[in-house]
Amino acid sequence: MKTLIGIPARYGSTRFPGKPLAKIAGKEMLLRVWENALKAASKFDGCEACVATDDQRIVDFCRRQNINVMMTSENCLTGTDRIVELAHKMPQPPEFVVNLQGDNPLCPTWFVEAVISEYYKDNNVETVTPVVNLSWEELDNLREHKKTTPFSGTTAVFNTNGDAFYFSKNIIPAIRKEDKIRATMPVSPVHRQIGLYGYRMDILDKISKLPEGFYEKLEGLEQLRWIENGINVRCVKVDYRNFQKMAALSGVDSPEDVARVEAVLAECGEF
């Protein structure tokens, strides 16, 4: 297997127990994520998808729906830990692994495809994450949102090859003489990072053994641990196409988020 799309799905969420099996517009959230993963996997040779869980109820659901599933340890602290265990349990070890969260039914398939494509173009890439170039209006909205929730939304700066210098919960880069720049640039210079990652397998193993980083602890961003340890994080540019309203919701964390996702799907349609 060249690529594995791993879908961590935990039943025992504190804020929303059983959320992978919660229905969104009549379809279980995990089934939505699985179908999106299959669409992306179908575009590449040697690409498979599999759910990783620690709960028999999710295993039973997956088997009824013909979803590939693997039981993983209850001791996994994070989705990344679960994906590492999943990758090592696969009959064929993958070269590259994508971590597609089981509570993110609004992650467009072309975001997943962009992450995988980057590895297929360059097998030396270590980790990959998508970024969206914000319009000036979107930047204004992000600034306004951060007045009440300052640690929402992550931004990134990267070199000409796309390798990240830094990620932050602050909006970076700072923009001097912004009025003049707005008059000359059609879009802002700010890129918002999407919480989706792909890893070369040897790098994923390395990441799983690294201690928490200094900047990671300050910002609450695990990818800063990788940069601190000399691991490259490749940023690939993506956009929401005609589904821009999906950008407002990165995942389902509470029962209230279900209604928000349903509202977006009702307005934008399925992708």
Confidence of residue 135 (pLDDT cuts 50, 70, 90): very high
Select 3-268's CATH number: 3.40.50.300, 1.10.260.40, 1.10.10.10, 3.90.550.10: 3.90.550.10
The answer to whether the CB of 97 falls within 8 A of the CB of 3 is yes
Q: How far apart are CA 170 and CA 254, in angstroms?
A: 25
> Is the backbone peptide bond immediately before 173 cis, with ω within 30 degrees of 0?
yes
The pTM for the full model equals 0.91
| CA distance linking residue 91 with residue 88, whole number of Å | 8
DSSP E strands: which ranges in 78-190?
Answer: 96-99, 127-133, 155-158, 164-168
pLDDT one-digit tens code per residue, 34-48: 999 999 999 999 999
Domain spans of the chain?
3-268
pLDDT beyond 70 at 143: yes
| Predicted pLDDT at 249 | 62
SS3 174: coil
> Region 3-20: what's the mean pLDDT?
84
At residue 100, φ and ψ (nearest 5 deg) are -105, 110
Amino acid at 113: E
Q: How distant is the alpha carbon of residue 64 from its chain centre?
A: 26
Asked whether the predicted pLDDT for residue 250 surpasses 70, the reply is no
> Pick from 105, 42, 33: which is nearest to 252 by CA?
105
Contact 4, 97 (CB under 8 A): yes
Amino acid at 180: K
pLDDT tens-place string over residues 75-94: 777 778 889 999 999 998 89
Q: How much is the average pLDDT of 20-29?
A: 91
pLDDT of residue 253: 73
Instruction: Answer whether 118's CB lies under 8 Å from 234's CB.
Output: yes
pLDDT of residue 271 exceeding 70, the answer is no
Q: How far apart are CA 117 and CA 111, in angstroms?
A: 10
Q: How confident is the model at residue 129 (pLDDT cuts 50, 70, 90)?
A: very high
What's the pLDDT tens digit per position in 171-197? Answer: 999 999 999 999 999 999 999 999 899
Q: How far apart are the C-alpha atoms of 206 and 25, rounded to whole Å? A: 40
% of the chain surpassing 90 pLDDT: 68
Whole-number pLDDT of residue 257:
82
- What is residue 98's predicted lDDT score, i.e. its pLDDT? 97
**What pLDDT sits at residue 74?**
77
Residue 123 pLDDT more than 70?
yes
Query: Bridge-partner residues for 163, per DSSP?
Result: 234
121 with 127: CB under 8 angstroms?
Answer: no
